[in-house]
Amino acid sequence: MRKRPAIRVITFLSAGLIVAGVLAFTGMRKAHSLELYARAGTQRAFDELVSSVSELSNDLEKSVYVSDPALESALCSQISGRAMTAQMAMEALPYSSHELEQTASFVSKVGDYANALARTVGSNGGYSREELKNLRSLAGTAEVMALNLRDMQERIMTGELTMDEVYGSGEALEGEEGAAPLAGSVFQTIEQEFPEVPSLIYDGPFSESVTGAKPVYLEGRDQVSQEDAQTAAAKFLDVEVSEIRDAGEMEGDVPCWAFGLIRNGGEYTVYVTKQGGEIYSALCSRAVSGENYSVKDALGMARDYIDSWGLKDLTESYHMVENGVLLVNYEHAEKGVICYPDLIKVGVALDNGSLMSYDAQGYIRAHRQRDIPAAKVSEEDARQSISGDLAVKSHDMAIIPTEGGQERFCHEFVCETDAGEHYILYVNAETGAQEKILILLEDETGALTI
């Protein structure tokens, strides 16, 4: 009789081991299936990248030899689409941004440049000499890139390369005799031998005029010492200089001194430009605990901060509440014209009215005394370009930035649909062409444009 419990225990243990074995086997099969699925997805993404870059290369080569503006525009739109497809394929590859840095940058630049040309080539009557020169250079780079990718694809098909995930340069395979190199390490080799990409000056975010632009507001200003910058930071935060501590430096196209301050349960970090000693930005790390002030009260506090810093001729445009902080946009106004590039953002805590953030990057990069011309296109004529489905609610004159860092003098129309939706349309005050349209989103927290 005593043997039965022991037999039962053995039986249960055996059954458990069998079940565990079955589950382990099932899990291994599932993991293997997932691995195969992931590898298949990576292979599809790579094949898509090879195909799209090859087509991109072909279209760039074609674009050099067409002379009809309509066909030039169509080809540029097609090149932009190819670049977008290539970007999506790269995002699906399991390689680090470092391994694909130059490849991704080149594809982005080509797509954006082609998109910019597609918008202007028709009205300009064809490519300029500089644009044609750029296209030739881009076509040459794309051809080299396509050849390298097709070579990789062929080596993968023959087993010389593997598509395994890799974030380094292939060290994991060192010592494995006869192992195929990883595709990621080959990508790095291609990156190191990447051809030189031409500097592109055009109206777009990857233009050299944007990426290499100097801050206009600081032109001709002297360099300041760290001590003088510290004094400026203390004055900005309305504290004694002795309370401010050194927090290092910030390099880049606007080099800054950095300073820190512990106050009111939070830590402030303030950046002061090395040239000119201007407050570039400030941020407080404190978590806002509630909303004790109304938006109207906080707007008044934000204006008080602006006045205390001695900033003149700033007009409020939009504001919104986010995580207990009122964020307000201020722009420089000159002769009744709103200069949107000259942007300063101020954040005020709704629990105690303290300063939470300050951002003058736009103002420092763009502010200057402008020679604003008289509008060649009247408000009445500009209204004629607005859709009959929109009712104009207000009108202003404004200078708006373009993606390429240029500026346009425009009529600004805030419009409303029958459904109560709001849009902002900008009509060029010199040509009468529509420059931009934005959706204006408004609720109890404020307004936002997209």
Q: Based on the fold, state whether residues 294 and 183 are members of the same structural domain.
A: no
Tell me: do 251 and 142 sit in the same domain: no
Q: Do 68 and 171 sit in the same domain of this protein?
A: yes
Strand 391-401 versus strand 337-349 pairing type: parallel
Shared domain check, 130 and 22: yes
In a domain, 245, yes or no: yes
Question: What's the domain count of the chain?
Answer: 3
Pair (194, 234) in one structural domain: no
Q: Are residues 58 and 132 in the same domain?
A: yes
List 162's β-bridge partners, or say none. 182
Is the domain of 241 the same as that of 261?
A: yes
Question: Per the domain annotation, does 6 fall within a domain?
Answer: no
Task: Say if residue 53 is in the same domain as residue 176.
Answer: yes
- pLDDT at position 176, please? 46
Residues 198 and 225 in one domain: no
C-alpha span between 145 and 154 (Å, rounded): 14
Asked whether residue 108 is assigned to any structural domain, the reply reads yes
SS3 per residue for 333-354: EECCEEEEEEEEEEEEECCCCC
pLDDT for the residue 169: 37
Domain boundary among 366, 396, 411: 366
Single residue among 145, 178, 211 that ends a domain in this structure: 211
pLDDT of residue 62: 84
Q: Which residues of 316-342 are buried (b: 16+ CB within 10 A; e: fewer)?
A: ebbbbbeebbbbbbbbbbbeebbbbbb
**Rounded CA separation 354/304 (Å):** 11
In a domain? residue 7: no
Q: Are residues 46 and 133 in the same domain?
A: yes
Both 249 and 293 in one domain: the answer is yes
Query: What whole-number distance in Å separates Cα of residue 436 and Cα of residue 424?
Result: 8
In terms of residue numbers, what domain contains 387?
379-449
Mean per-residue pLDDT pooled into runs of 10, the chain (450 residues): 52 54 51 48 80 88 82 87 86 62 81 85 83 87 86 79 47 45 56 60 55 83 96 96 92 90 88 96 90 94 96 92 91 93 94 94 92 94 92 95 83 93 92 88 78
3 part of a folded domain? no
| Residue that has been written with the tokens 């929109």 in this structure | 390
pLDDT (0 to 100) of residue 27: 52
* CATH number, position 411: 3.10.450
Domain boundary among 211, 242, 265: 211
**2 within a domain of the structure (yes/no):** no
Please indicate, yes or no, whether residues 258 and 351 belong to a single structural domain of this protein.
yes
Q: Is residue 98 part of a domain?
A: yes
Q: Is 432 a member of any domain?
A: yes
Q: What is the dihedral of CA 245, 251, 253, 258, to 10 degrees?
A: -10
